[in-house]
Amino acid sequence: MGDDEVATVKTITEYRETLSSLIAQYHGRVVDSPGDNVLAEFGSVVDAVQCAVEIQNILKAKNEDLPENRRMIFRIGVNLGDVIQEGDRIYGDGVNIAARIESLADGGGICISGTAYDHIENKLALGYNFIGEHSVKNIAKPVRVYKVPMDPKDVGKKRAGMRMESQHLRKSSVVALITYGPTLAWP
């Protein structure tokens, strides 16, 4: 919280409202938001990744208006996988993988799992950088991980001839874990 707790809480609240609005706009839902995390679920990996890119670009712009010591830098991990639903909450490897790959993202960045990449590589023209297979806690097999380069002009792009209707892409849950660090600075 640092020097100005009231201002920090105000910024956190404003950013959470922005996140919630964008997640809903991309047909997702906020599942939980404990501490410095936001867990969201989407029916479409295309929607999840487009939302993640837009979140990072909007929050980067918001941070430019803040003093460096009050900027909140977000990391996002996106995974496509099965989850266990209990009431409004979700659990399981799908969530765990999103959480683990989120920690591999740079501040202001996005990492996606190999399963997410396999479904969007020809649908979103964002460019992707393979950063290897990573052994992650509580997951038996290494997870392929890709970084999504952040370029505002690529938000919402789809490859020519591809028309995506997210209502028809509901094979598994797409989980995005968003974490922020209020005292970090843009790298």
Domains defined along the chain, listed by start: 5-181 (3.30.70.1230)
Name every residue whose Cβ is closer than 8 Å to that of residue 69 and which is 6 or more positions away in sequence.
2, 3, 183, 185
Question: Where are any strands of DSSP class E within 36-185?
Answer: 37-42, 73-81, 84-86, 89-91, 110-113, 129-134, 143-148, 173-181
Percent of the chain topping pLDDT 90: 43
Residue 1 pLDDT exceeds 70: no
Q: Which residue has the higher pLDDT, 31 or 158?
A: 31
Residue 179 pLDDT exceeds 70: no
Q: Which residue has the higher pLDDT, 24 or 178?
A: 24
Residue 151 pLDDT exceeds 80: no
User: Where residue 186 falls among pLDDT bands split at 50, 70, 90?
Assistant: very low
pTM listed for this prediction = 0.82
Residue 113 pLDDT exceeds 60: yes
Q: Which residue has the higher pLDDT, 91 or 176?
A: 91
> Residue with structure tokens 């995974």?
79
Residue 8 pLDDT exceeds 90: no
Q: What's the confidence (pLDDT) of residue 161?
A: 35
Q: Which residue has the higher pLDDT, 92 or 22?
A: 22
